[in-house]
Amino acid sequence: MKLLILATLIGLSFAQFNPNTQSGRTAIVHLFEWRWADIAAECERFLGPNGFGGVQISPPSESIVVTNPWHPWWQRYQPIGYNLCSRSGNENELRDMITRCNNVGVYIYVDAVINHMCGAGGGSGTHSSCGSYFNANNKDFPTVPYSNLDFNDGKCNTGSGNIENYQDVNQVRNCRLVGLLDLALEKDYVRGKTSDYMNKLIDMGVAGFRVDACKHMWPGDLSAVYGRLHNLNTKWFPSGSRPFIFQEVIDLGGEPITSSEYTGVGRVTEFKYGAKLGNVIRKWNGEKLSFLKNWGEGWGFMPSDKALVFTDNHDNQRGHGAGGASIVTFWDARIYKMAVAFMLAHPYGFTRVMSSYRWDRNIVNGQDQNDWIGPPSNGDGSTKPVTINADGTCGNGWVCEHRWRQITNMVGFRNVVNGQTFSNWWDNGSNQISFSRGNRGFLVINNDDWELNATLNTGLPGGTYCDIISGQKESGRCTGKQVTVGGDGRASIRISNSEEDPFMAIHADSKL
């Protein structure tokens, strides 16, 4: 009995760290700015069959519509209410997507913007994604409703009312983030409205939330909001399941607010991961792949079971925001595939893959003047559908990194090696590395400017395996390279530094 109570307590208090993915599904993908109808189709035709565990969606809440600049991506991070109507689609399309994705075992994680509403300069009128009226001048958001009583301004003591100094914890939480009207989350009423919004989504069947801008909210307020959330919908989830919570806290060091203040109430985005991995893969500041031997907590990251990790996100892939220039993205495809493969092979953290759209970059003095550009759109600003070409790539300006063979297959790799230990590390003291995940999977990378030629311990049972980077196993044969593992687990590996992809991966399910 005592044990049962203890188990229940642990289950309850740690539940928000569990991604709730189906067993054997270990990664999610951020389908940034995708329409709900396209996500529903992608769950059924691609994500489900390829073992993806879930999708992080763009904010579904009603937001301001900005026309100067023209429909920037960040307009969706300026809510004017919680009606489920956005440039990705309406409430019916959202519900249809959640149902169809859940039915193929791919769960939905909602980007929840609850720190603020739109900017103080957002004006008044019906320039919103559902056409609802709002008035930013007197802080009137009738669809919620919020009034001037529900904002923090009284507690902010900067001259401008905005956050002026990130070294002052009170400013960062109680003042306006770049002028965005800052909600008073210590108020029972505001906690009620934000949790009602999240509960509506939970009841529709979502599995959890990416909570935006958590640095700007008090951990105690967040804990109170999370505490009000319903259990997940038992149509798809075991009864008593808690929503998965991962909180956006941009902590690269140097500020008084740290990730560790938030790991008690949910997982936290580990922004150091992509910034440091970018340095290593780019070989900046004398960094080498061999340094990755103690990757994870050994690099000063938060505990693995608290971390949500990614190579790049929708913000830092634009060359500003957290991480800056070292962040690797689809624009640097060759090293990007290597970085994502390393992430998906390594046991640290719960992994999120980025899926982007292309935009016209215009980099002046290291800063992209076009970092605001929204998704591929029609003349009226509506988002273009994701089209799928005959070869499986995406059209209409959508990049679909998650469909790149090397990345899709590494999601499969992560599923196959789930729970296996990090073992058989090898490096050449430079940029050639390999490691296994127990006896289930093996990754080898050559990021040096010369050939890799070595006999390596793969940890795998003897046999012939298909490399899942250059190809894969298809009807009993390899479409790419083959690797022969001896009875002693060793394999002779050669990887030229001039290959299109100078790395290989094999796993238990790629064995012939």
Q: Which residues bind ligand ZXY (CB under 6 A)?
A: 74, 77, 113, 177-178, 212-213, 215, 248, 250, 315, 321-322
Min. distance of Cβ 181 from ligand ZXY in angstroms?
11
| Chosen from ligand ZXY, Ca ion, none, partner binding at 377 (C-beta under 5 to 8 Å by type) | none
| Chosen from ligand ZXY, Ca ion, none, partner binding at 110 (C-beta under 5 to 8 Å by type) | none
Contact segment (CB under 5 A) with Ca ion among 211-219, 325-333, 336-344, 370-378 equals: 211-219
Cα–Cα distance measured from residue 355 to residue 370, given in angstroms and rounded to the nearest whole number:
19
Sequence-distant (6+) residues with CB within 8 A of 192 are 228
Q: Which is nearer to ligand ZXY, 122 or 347 (CB)?
A: 122
Helices (H) and strands (E) in the chain, counts: 9, 24
* Token pair belonging to 1: 């009995």
State which residue has the least CB distance to ligand ZXY. 77
Q: Which helix (H) or strand (E) holds 202?
A: helix 188-204
Min. distance of Cβ 175 from Ca ion in angstroms?
7
Sketch the per residue contact string, 91 through 120, with Ca ion: x for CB under 5 A, - otherwise.
------------------------x-----
CA dihedral sign of residues 203, 80, 175, 314: positive
Beta strands in 35-85 (DSSP E): 54-57
Min. distance of Cβ 287 from ligand ZXY in angstroms?
24
| Chosen from Ca ion, ligand ZXY, none, partner binding at 321 (C-beta under 5 to 8 Å by type) | ligand ZXY
Helix (H, G, I), strand (E, B) or coil at 125: strand
HSE-CB for 353 with a 13 A CA cutoff: 33
| Chosen from Ca ion, ligand ZXY, none, partner binding at 213 (C-beta under 5 to 8 Å by type) | ligand ZXY
* Token pair belonging to 315: 């913000």
**DSSP states along 23-36:** TT--EEEEETT--H
Specify burial of residue 408 (Cβ count, 10 A radius: 0-12, 13-18, 19+).
Answer: buried
Interaction of residue 150 with Ca ion, rule CB under 5 A: no
212 is catalytic: yes
Cα–Cα distance measured from residue 350 to residue 347, given in angstroms and rounded to the nearest whole number:
8
Helix (H, G, I), strand (E, B) or coil at 454: strand
Number of residues that bind Ca ion (CB under 5 A): 3
Interaction of residue 182 with Ca ion, rule CB under 5 A: yes
Give me the catalytic one of 212, 287, 315, 501.
212
Q: Choose among 123, 372, 166, 337: nearest CA to 252.
A: 166
Q: Which is nearer to ligand ZXY, 84 or 444 (CB)?
A: 84
Q: Which is nearer to ligand ZXY, 215 or 276 (CB)?
A: 215
Q: Which is nearer to ligand ZXY, 367 or 484 (CB)?
A: 367
| Chosen from ligand ZXY, Ca ion, none, partner binding at 182 (C-beta under 5 to 8 Å by type) | Ca ion
DSSP-derived pairing of the beta strands 208-211 and 107-112: parallel
* Residue 331 contacts residue 361 (beta carbons within 8 Å): yes
Write out the binding residues for Ca ion, residues 254-293 only, by CB under 5 A.
none
Cα–Cα distance measured from residue 480 to residue 466, given in angstroms and rounded to the nearest whole number:
7
* Residue 422 contacts residue 470 (beta carbons within 8 Å): no
* Residue 348 contacts residue 389 (beta carbons within 8 Å): no
Q: Which is nearer to Ca ion, 268 or 280 (CB)?
A: 268
Min. distance of Cβ 246 from ligand ZXY in angstroms?
12
248 is catalytic: yes
Identity at 309, one-letter amino acid code:
V
Identity at 316, one-letter amino acid code:
N
Cα–Cα distance measured from residue 475 to residue 224, given in angstroms and rounded to the nearest whole number:
53
Vertex 107: Cα angle to 104 and 108 (nearest 5): 130
Cα–Cα distance measured from residue 161 to residue 139, given in angstroms and rounded to the nearest whole number:
14
| Chosen from ligand ZXY, Ca ion, none, partner binding at 215 (C-beta under 5 to 8 Å by type) | ligand ZXY
Q: Which is nearer to ligand ZXY, 50 or 258 (CB)?
A: 258
Q: Which helix (H) or strand (E) holds 10?
A: helix 2-14
Min. distance of Cβ 2 from ligand ZXY in angstroms?
43
Give me the catalytic one of 111, 150, 221, 248.
248
Q: Which is nearer to Ca ion, 182 or 248 (CB)?
A: 182
Cα–Cα distance measured from residue 62 to residue 216, given in angstroms and rounded to the nearest whole number:
21
Interaction of residue 312 with Ca ion, rule CB under 5 A: no
Min. distance of Cβ 174 from Ca ion in angstroms?
6
| Chosen from ligand ZXY, Ca ion, none, partner binding at 408 (C-beta under 5 to 8 Å by type) | none
Q: Which is nearer to Ca ion, 78 or 115 (CB)?
A: 115
| Chosen from ligand ZXY, Ca ion, none, partner binding at 113 (C-beta under 5 to 8 Å by type) | ligand ZXY
Contact segment (CB under 5 A) with Ca ion among 133-141, 176-184, 230-238, 469-477 equals: 176-184
Interaction of residue 216 with Ca ion, rule CB under 5 A: yes
Min. distance of Cβ 263 from ligand ZXY in angstroms?
17
The residues carrying an active-site annotation are 212, 248
Q: What are the residues binding Ca ion (CB under 5 A)?
A: 115, 182, 216
